[in-house]
Amino acid sequence: MKAARPIGLTQQNALLLIGAFLVFELLVVVVTAYFVMLPLARRSTADLAGLMTLSAQTWSELPPVTRPAFEIELARSHALALRAEPPLDPAPPSWRDPYLRFLLLSLAERTGVPVTGSRETIGGEDWFWVALPAGGGYLSVGFPHSRIASRPLQALLASLTGGFALALAAAWWLAGRTTRPLELLREAVDSLGRGQTPARLPETGPREIAALSRRFNAMAKEVEELLAARTVLLAGVSHDLRTPLARLRLAVEMLVRRPSAELAAQIEADIEAMDRLIGDVLTLARGFGHEPAARVDLAGLLAELAATAPDRVTLSADTIEIEVPPGALRRVLGNLLDNALRHGGDAPVALRAETEPDGGVRIGVLDRGPGIPLAEREAVFRPFHRLDASRNLAAGGSGLGLAIVRQLAVAHGWRVRLEDRAGGGLAAWLEIDPRGAAATAT
């Protein structure tokens, strides 16, 4: 048996809005009827009952000769008729005429005796008659139904019908307005799932929908950047491995014909270069996003890094303890230091660590090299981007060092800035937000 297809969000919202609107309308009808219509109906029927009993008593006390003139004036001014004949086929009013029921109760209270009424059709119009005591007997007093002119059931049905139509139109419009952005989001997600580049969603409408659209647009941009980075990464790895592989092939052939220590050293150097390249690629792909934070003595860490090149690195650091992922921090600072040593010439490289007024920590790697042009300072963080055109791994590096720095910094909420150093050279600063890490200085 085929399962029933669930209703859409538009239909569901429309039905909920219609139901809520109808319940609200019924509540308004009940409250209005109880607190407004019923008191007015009782007051109106009490006034009409008083007029009818007074008319019957006045007619019975008038001389017979003046009674016709009184009946004419009563019909003209109050739409009431008098006659001596009793009501025909007396029966209680229908439940559809609550006004007549209230009238009979008011008449019974004024006369002190039970009062019954009946309906007649006179001249194509409905009349309502009641027998009232007058002058020792009973006198029939009647009025046409047009005198009341109230149709509560018709009013209720018309109100419900109009309210239902209005609620249906409003609910359908509101539901469509709400679900249209979600439909666009579904189409964009399907497009993204097929590997296509989805169109950006409009960041308008209700706050929640706009926030969802902004987040999806940001996610789509990140996916596009990841796909582009993957393409660049694969192309760069394949390109950078061709040169050492070609040298290896040639060296192996020559080594077979004429073994030498120089060829063996060249092979070992090429293998180490490829191993570094592969390690950098794995680091860039994996990152240290899941490394737990630990308390790190920043001055001690910088001293360890400076010890790798003691003749070329100077250290200036406050005693600072900071809670960060140590592996990620070491890799970021190590890559910045390697980059400074490679491009800084023979001048010493300075390592600095200092606290900022807001409680954050700033770590600088400052060299006296040629620096980086302002237009290139964002591009150097892309994988395999080198300022020199050389693809020599030994001379220019793998082109992944700063890409790894940017990735790890973004993953941990840090910021990396490149700026000109006073007196010439480049200053690379790693800024750690105080809200992202706890730091103390002495």
Instruction: Please enumerate in sequence order all residues whose Cβ is within 8 A of that of 123, keeping only pairs 6 or more positions apart, or say none.
Output: none
As a whole number, mean pLDDT of residues 296-316 equals 88
33-39 contacts, C-beta under 8 A, 24 or more apart: 37/152
Q: What is the mean pLDDT of the chain?
A: 79
Phi, psi angle pair for 378, to nearest 5°: -90, -35
**pLDDT of 147 higher than 90:** no
Residue 213: predicted pLDDT: 83
Domains, the chain, with CATH or none: 9-155 (3.30.450.300), 200-286 (1.10.287.130), 289-441 (3.30.565.10)
As a whole number, mean pLDDT of residues 192-201 equals 75
Residue 104 tokens read as 């009979």
**pLDDT of 387 higher than 80:** no
Residue 149: predicted pLDDT: 67
Residue 266 tokens read as 């060249």
Dump pLDDT digits (tens) for 273-287. Answer: 777 667 766 665 665
Kindly list the distances between the CA atom of residue 93 and the CA atoms of 101, 118, 140, 157, in Å, as whole numbers in the listed order: 6, 8, 16, 21
CB neighbours of residue 316 within 10 Å: 13
What radius of gyration do the chain's Cα atoms show? 48
Tell me how many degrees the CA angle 141-147-148 measures, rounded to the nearest 5. 105
**pLDDT of 441 higher than 60:** no
Residue 189: predicted pLDDT: 80
Dump pLDDT digits (tens) for 48-60. Answer: 999 999 999 999 8
Dump pLDDT digits (tens) for 202-249. Answer: 887 778 778 888 888 888 877 776 666 666 556 656 656 776 777 778
Dump pLDDT digits (tens) for 62-76. Answer: 998 999 999 999 999
Residue 389 DSSP label = S
Residue 80: predicted pLDDT: 93
- Measure the CA–CA gap between 315 and 21, rounded to whole angstroms: 74
Phi, psi angle pair for 387, to nearest 5°: -70, -35
Dump pLDDT digits (tens) for 85-129. Answer: 887 777 777 766 788 888 989 999 998 888 888 888 888 888 889
Residue 7 DSSP label = P
pTM score above 0.75? no
- Ranked by mean pLDDT, the top range of 51-65, 254-268, 370-384, 386-400 is 51-65
- Measure the CA–CA gap between 425 and 419, rounded to whole angstroms: 9
Residue 6: predicted pLDDT: 67
Band of residue 153 on the pLDDT scale cut at 50, 70, 90: low
Tell me how many degrees the CA angle 307-310-312 measures, rounded to the nearest 5. 130
**pLDDT of 81 higher than 90:** yes
Band of residue 1 on the pLDDT scale cut at 50, 70, 90: very low
As a whole number, mean pLDDT of residues 321-337 equals 87
Amino acid present at 81 = A
- Measure the CA–CA gap between 268 and 263, rounded to whole angstroms: 9
- The dihedral sign for the CA sequence 318, 322, 325, 326: positive
Largest CA distance in the chain: 156
- Measure the CA–CA gap between 141 and 194, rounded to whole angstroms: 85
Residue 289: predicted pLDDT: 52
Band of residue 438 on the pLDDT scale cut at 50, 70, 90: very low
Beta strands in 223-271 (DSSP E): none
- Measure the CA–CA gap between 55 and 141, rounded to whole angstroms: 8
Band of residue 394 on the pLDDT scale cut at 50, 70, 90: very low
**pLDDT of 321 higher than 90:** no
Instruction: Please enumerate in sequence order all residues whose Cβ is within 8 A of that of 54, keeping only pairs 6 or more positions apart, or say none.
Output: none
Residue 20: predicted pLDDT: 80
Residue 257: predicted pLDDT: 76
DSSP-H helix ranges across 112-197: 152-193
Percent of the chain predicted with pLDDT > 90? 14
Specify whether the CB–CB gap between 322 and 391 falls below 8 A. no
Residue 281: predicted pLDDT: 65
Dump pLDDT digits (tens) for 20-38. Answer: 877 887 888 788 878 877 8
Band of residue 318 on the pLDDT scale cut at 50, 70, 90: confident
